[in-house]
Amino acid sequence: MYKKKYLILCVLLIILLYFLLQYFFIPKSIYMTTGESYVMKMDTFFDCEISSSQVLNINNKAVKDNIKIDLKNENTISSKEDGNAKINLKMLGVTIKQIELKFMPEKRVKAVGQTVGICVNTDGVLVLGVGSVKGEENKYIYPSKDIIFSGDSIIEANGIKINKKEDLMAAIQSGYANLTVVREGEKLNVSLKPIKSKEDGTYKLGIWVRDSTQGIGTITYYDSKDQSFGALGHPIKDVDTGKVMEIKNGEVLENEVCDIEKGKAGEPGALIGKTDFDKVIGSVEKNGENGIFGKLNYDIGGVELPIGYKNDLKIGEAYIYCNNTGKKIEKYKIKIESINKFTTSQNKSFVVSIDDKRLIDLTGGIVQGMSGSPIIQNGKLVGAITHVFTNDPTKGYGIFIENMIDVS
């Protein structure tokens, strides 16, 4: 009896889990280029009804208002007008979820592939770890323990704005510390008592902090209309805490690739760059899950292409632009291995493999510094390289370009 009830409960839980996965993994919006045809198919048990005030072409028929389609089958959809339609997913006649179908005018940017030096300043100072201070009585005291944590950003101390490590040191020499910290995106006010160090007589909090970081990466695109750029395809994370860095600002600098650490299984390689800190070519304004963004001081060059949405991306041949020698940008063949159009990950949208022997011989595959290398398929900029597979450097992840570029 109990066994039967347990079995029924397990079946119901599996059904509920399947329903929730269907619900959460279906996107809130789908982008399409006006005038182009797209094949839409979803493995879902929901009924589907498309509502639109404009004329759509669905399966070679001009339709308007409401039309029911079976998402389990391939449906060809297009529109000659910019605008929005709604896909209503229903169960037992009730709308469960609504998808915005957006027909967008063609957007063109320059696919770049140039490596650059990147130097960013944190918003406040980033806490790397918490330790002890040797006080005047030769006792080791932990003034910040259970109050300040690794990954916190200290943005203010005793009413003074904190921009660098020296600001924090100066602000707490009064012997008390009322701090404003940012933790997991939330501002908090905390108070603690600094300890006077026996070693040098200054007040200390017993924390290690960082106020900037540097590296190299690849610019994915440049938009000459507003001088904006996107790069990396993933966030800059602190090497010690592993958390996304909250940045105040940053600089894009000229860089020349002077050497390569070749990648191999279990040992990711890297581009070695010589960055010229006197040649600032742009500014970094944002560090997010889908890359870093800002403005360039001048047109950095590249190939002007229309962007392709996730529905444009196909399994098969594509190529990348990347800069692996000096400042020379080369074109290399890759293959799109698999695509997850409904992933919740911002920067691991599809899997690529390097198909070009020249690049494999040069770098071993994908290496650090190549993040942001633009991916081109069928004459469109469709994404960028973001990560390498540690166990196989010839493979890695890519990000949909629509996740990097504001297409709304």
Q: Residue 292's closest CA among 340, 330, 244, 339? A: 244
Of residues 153, 371, 373, 387, which has the active-site annotation? 371
DSSP annotation of 370 reads -
8 A C-beta contact, residue 22 and residue 45 = yes
Which of these is catalytic: 47, 153, 356, 373? 356
Q: Say what the pLDDT of residue 317 is.
A: 96
**Topology of the domain comprising 107-123+214-408:** Thrombin, subunit H (2.40.10)
Question: Does residue 1 have a pLDDT over 60?
Answer: no
Give the bridge partners for 294, in sequence order. 229, 284
Q: CB under 8 Å to 204, separation ≥6 — which residues?
A: 133, 143, 172, 194, 195, 196, 197
Quick: pLDDT tens for 285-332: 999 999 999 999 999 999 999 999 988 899 999 999 999 887 789 999
> Residue 408 above 60 pLDDT?
no
233 and 399 Cβ atoms separated by less than 8 Å: yes
Sequential DSSP letters for 230-289: EESSS--B-TTT-SBP-EEEEEEEEEEEEEEE--BTTB--EEEEEEEEEEEEEEEEEEET
* Residue in this structure with the two tokens 């009924």, named with its chain if needed: 47
CATH of domain 132-205: 2.30.42.10
- Distance separating alpha carbons of residues 78 and 56, to the nearest angstrom: 6
Q: Residues 24-40: pLDDT tens digits?
A: 667 778 888 888 888 87
CA–CA separation, 387 vs 270, rounded Å? 12
Q: If you compute the radius of gyration of the chain from its CA atoms, what whole number of angstroms results?
A: 26
pLDDT digits (tens, 9 = 90+) for 101-120: 888 888 999 999 999 999 99
Query: 216, 214, 206: which is closest to 128 by C-alpha?
Result: 206
How far apart, in whole angstroms, are the C-alpha atoms of residue 196 and residue 205?
9
Model confidence at 126: pLDDT above 70: yes
Question: How do the domains of the chain map onto residue ranges?
Answer: 25-104, 107-123+214-408, 132-205
Q: Which of 234, 238, 312, 387 is catalytic?
A: 234
pLDDT, tens only, 164-206 = 889 999 999 988 899 999 988 889 999 999 988 888 889 999 9
**What's the chain's average pLDDT?**
87
Q: Which residues contact 240 (CB under 8 A, 6 or more apart)?
A: 128, 129, 150, 210
Determine whether 356 is an active site residue. yes
pLDDT at 373 over 90: yes
Share of the chain above pLDDT 90, in %: 43
| Residues in CB range of 35: below 8 A, 6 or more apart | 78, 79, 80, 106
Q: Is 146 helix (H, G, I), strand (E, B) or coil?
A: coil
Instruction: Please say if 355 is a catalytic residue.
Output: no
- The answer to whether 126 touches 386, Cβ cutoff 8 Å, is no
- 371: annotated active-site residue: yes
Report how far apart, in Å, the C-alpha atoms of 213 and of each of 17, 119, 234 are.
Answer: 42, 6, 16
- CATH number for the domain running over 25-104: 2.60.40.1860
